[in-house]
Amino acid sequence: MTELAQQRALARHLLDERSAADAMAAYYAQEHAAARTRLFLHYAAGGRVDGVLVRAQTGADLFRPLVMVRAPSPNAAAQLLEAGMQPDRPCYLVMPSELGAVAFRELEITELQLLCQYVLYAHQFKPLINVLVQRAASAGGAPRYEIRAQDRVRALAGINWRSDYFAEVYVQVEQAARGRGWGRAVVAALARELLDAGVQPLYSVAQGNQSSVKLAEALGFVDNGNRELAGFAIRRTE
C-alpha cells in the first residue's frame, strides 16, 4: 500500500462522501488522481487522525493547487496549514467558514469569497429544453453542454469534479449572450444527465452573486446552508 493510500484510509472517517457539505473535500481527499494529490494529517492525543489538509493539482489552474482543510480546532487548522502550504507558493484555498479566523491570521488571502452551496434534488428539478443546446465533452471526457453561435461557444456548462454521489457544475456565458436564458439552458441539460445517472448536482455561488442565484433557483436548486471561504492564499513566513 502506498503512503497516500495509507493516509486516505486513516482520514476516511473524517469526510462523509454522501454529504453535500463534505462532497468536494471527500472527492479530492479520496478519489482525485494519486499523482496529483497530497494529504497532510493531524493526530489527536490518542493517535487517531482528527484533521486533514488536501493539496491537489487540478485542471482549473495549472500553477496554483487547490487546498482544502478539515480540522477539529483552530490550532489543528493552523498546524495543517503550516505543514501543507509551501511558503510563498500561492494556492486556491477552500475551507469551512468557521475556520476563517485561522486563515486570516496565518495567510495572505486575496479575492476572498464566501461560497454558498446549492443542491438539486430530482423531485425539485425544473427541466428546460432549448434546441440550441448541444452535448459535447471536456478534454477529460466529462459531459459538457454548449450553445454555439457564429462558430463560437456562447454558453457552456460542465463539471469541476464528480464522485459516485455528487458533481459540482459550473456555467460560463459570454457577456454579449447574457439575458437570453442560455446559461440556464445548458445547466438544465447537464443536470438532467447527472440526475439520470443517479448523481446529485451541486452548484457553488459566491455570496451576493444574484444572477447565479437566480439561475440556480430557476432550475430547482436550493441553498443547503453550507458555507465555505475561498480565495487565493499564500502562507506567511514571518
Mean pLDDT of 55-59: 91
Q: Do 71 and 147 fall into the same domain?
A: no
Q: Do 109 and 148 fall into the same domain?
A: no
Query: What's residue 140's pLDDT?
Result: 80
pLDDT digits (tens, 9 = 90+) for 127-180: 999 999 999 988 788 999 999 988 899 999 999 999 999 999 999 998 888 888
Task: Indicate whether 60 pLDDT > 90.
Answer: no
Task: Indicate whether 238 pLDDT > 70.
Answer: no
CA distance 169 to 154: 17
Q: Do 212 and 165 fall into the same domain?
A: yes
Who has greater pLDDT, 100 or 120? 120
Who has greater pLDDT, 106 or 18? 18
Task: Indicate whether 1 pLDDT > 80.
Answer: no
CATH (domain of 182): 3.40.630.30
Query: What's residue 59's pLDDT?
Result: 78
Q: Do 104 and 169 fall into the same domain?
A: no
The single residue listed with the C-alpha cell 447565479 is 212
Domain count, the chain: 2
Lowest mean pLDDT, pick from 59-63, 99-103, 225-229: 59-63
CATH (domain of 41): 3.40.630
Closest CA relative to residue 150, chosen from 135, 132, 171: 132
Q: Do 96 and 128 fall into the same domain?
A: no
Q: Do 106 and 131 fall into the same domain?
A: no
Q: Note down the domain range covering 80.
A: 3-115+228-235
Mean pLDDT of 75-87: 94
Full DSSP string of the chain: --HHHHHHHHHGGG--TTSHHHHHHHHHHHTS-GGGEEEEEEE-TTS-EEEEEEEEEETTEEEEEEEEEE-SSHHHHHHHHHHHS-TT--EEEEEEGGGHHHHHHHEEEEEEEEEEEEE--GGG------TTEEEEE-TTS-EEEEEEETTEEEEEEEEEEE-SSEEEEEEEE-GGGTTSSHHHHHHHHHHHHHHHTT-EEEEEEETT-HHHHHHHHHTT-EEEEEEEEEEEEEE---
Angle, vertex CA 219, rays to CA 217 and CA 222, nearest 5: 40
Q: Do 216 and 149 fall into the same domain?
A: yes
Lowest mean pLDDT, pick from 10-19, 32-41, 134-143, 224-233: 134-143
Query: What's residue 232's pLDDT?
Result: 95
Mean pLDDT of 204-217: 94
Query: What's residue 138's pLDDT?
Result: 84
Q: Do 107 and 183 fall into the same domain?
A: no
Q: Do 71 and 171 fall into the same domain?
A: no
Query: What's residue 78's pLDDT?
Result: 94
Q: Do 91 and 188 fall into the same domain?
A: no
Q: Do 137 and 33 fall into the same domain?
A: no
Q: Do 152 and 86 fall into the same domain?
A: no
Closest CA relative to residue 12, chosen from 29, 33, 34: 29
